[in-house]
């Protein structure tokens, strides 16, 4: 019994020391860092899919990065690992210089709720709630005060240009407007990172470009770090840096002039 406790203590100290060492290695300017990330799905006995096959990336604070690649290349899997929605098979993810594998459940929940905002292809709004109530939801979960909630919901609905439609249900809004609500919802807890998976996938190209331009404006104004997956080259090119993926690997990095 005593021995087990001692072993746990030693393990804990080792993990902390490991983090301290890494903490010093990673630049304070880095927001997201992964080392040799792999994810293997076991479909059935003996059949494996290597969705990620050694991904090492380094994203600076305030940077706007797009991830491009054909369907099945591992883009969503990469976002899931970085957003702490799933665990990698091997490799490490650091968010703001902290190894997320060493976080306890409460720390992980807080990370997802307060530090990371998610935007999805299909908006994922609650159909029976108004635009205002949809944006308010993550703030209620995060236990923010009534005053903060009112201030931020109005502020971000205003920033995405939807103040006048705050009482509308999602079904009473266009696709582009619904995605604007989803962006306001992702921003309302003022996360340091915004993760977007094919945010323009359901929009026509004009509306899609408008949404990305809005994201870029918000990125410059609020200095959030944005990691966005898209298969549309026009959309991907609006980021400062494009990472091209194929077969679970980053095969090319393109710096744009944005």
Binding residues (CB under 5 A) for Mg ion: these are: 75-76
Determine, following the binding rule CB under 6 A, whether residue 66 of this chain makes contact with ligand ADP. no
Shortest approach of ligand ADP to residue 43 CB, angstroms?
6
Is-contact 130 91, C-beta < 8 A? no
Among 105, 162, 103, smallest CA distance to 132 is for 162
- DSSP strand E in the chain: where? 30-44, 47-60, 64-68, 90-95, 98-99, 116-119, 193-197, 225-229, 241-246, 249-255
Instruction: Select the span of 12-20, 43-51, 108-116, 215-223 touching ligand ADP (CB under 6 A).
Output: 43-51
Shortest approach of Mg ion to residue 138 CB, angstroms?
22
In the DSSP assignment, the letter for residue 213 is H
In the DSSP assignment, the letter for residue 201 is T
Shortest approach of ligand ADP to residue 130 CB, angstroms?
31
Decide whether 94 or 120 has the Cβ nearer to ligand ADP. Answer: 120
Is-contact 258 238, C-beta < 8 A? yes
- Residue from 75, 112, 144, 166 that binds ligand ADP (CB under 6 A)? 75
Instruction: Quote the crossing angle between the two packed helices 175-187 and 131-141, to the nearest 10°.
Output: 20
Is-contact 173 131, C-beta < 8 A? yes
Decide whether 86 or 158 has the Cβ nearer to Mg ion. Answer: 86
Determine, following the binding rule CB under 6 A, whether residue 54 of this chain makes contact with ligand ADP. no
Q: How many residues bind ligand ADP (CB under 6 A)?
A: 12
Determine, following the binding rule CB under 6 A, whether residue 200 of this chain makes contact with ligand ADP. no
- Residue from 59, 74, 121, 239 that binds ligand ADP (CB under 6 A)? 74
Shortest approach of ligand ADP to residue 226 CB, angstroms?
17
- Residue from 31, 51, 92, 125 that binds ligand ADP (CB under 6 A)? 51
Any idea how long the chain is? 258
Instruction: Select the span of 55-63, 70-78, 89-97, 148-156 touching ligand ADP (CB under 6 A).
Output: 70-78
Residue 121 binds which entry of Mg ion, ligand ADP, none, with Cβ cut-offs from 5 to 8 Å by kind?
Answer: none
Helix (H, G, I), strand (E, B) or coil at 166: coil
């Amino acid at each position: 019994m005593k021995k087990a406790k001692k072993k746990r203590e030693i393990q804990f100290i080792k993990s902390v020391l490991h983090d301290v060492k890494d903490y010093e290695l990673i630049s304070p300017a880095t927001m997201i860092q992964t080392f040799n990330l792999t994810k293997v799905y076991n479909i059935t006995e003996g059949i494996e899919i290597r969705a990620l096959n050694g991904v090492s990336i380094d994203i600076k604070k305030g940077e706007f990065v797009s991830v491009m690649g054909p369907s099945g290349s591992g883009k969503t899997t990469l976002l899931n690992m970085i957003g702490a929605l799933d665990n990698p098979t091997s490799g490490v993810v650091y968010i703001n210089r902290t190894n997320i594998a060493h976080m306890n459940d409460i720390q992980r929940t807080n990370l997802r709720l307060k530090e990371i905002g998610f935007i999805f292809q299909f908006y994922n709004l609650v159909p029976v709630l108004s635009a205002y109530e949809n944006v308010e939801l993550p703030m209620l979960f995060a236990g923010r005060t009534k005053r903060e909630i009112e201030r931020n919901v109005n502020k971000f609905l205003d920033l995405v240009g939807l103040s006048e439609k705050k009482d509308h249900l999602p079904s009473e809004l266009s696709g582009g407007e619904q995605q604007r609500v989803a962006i306001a919802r992702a921003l309302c807890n003022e996360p340091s990172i915004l993760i977007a998976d094919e945010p323009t996938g359901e929009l026509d190209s004009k509306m899609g470009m408008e949404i990305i331009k809005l994201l870029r404006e918000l990125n410059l104004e609020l200095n959030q770090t944005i990691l966005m997956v898209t298969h549309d080259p026009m959309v991907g090119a609006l980021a400062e840096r494009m990472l091209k993926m194929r077969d679970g690997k980053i095969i090319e990095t393109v710096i744009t002039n944005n």
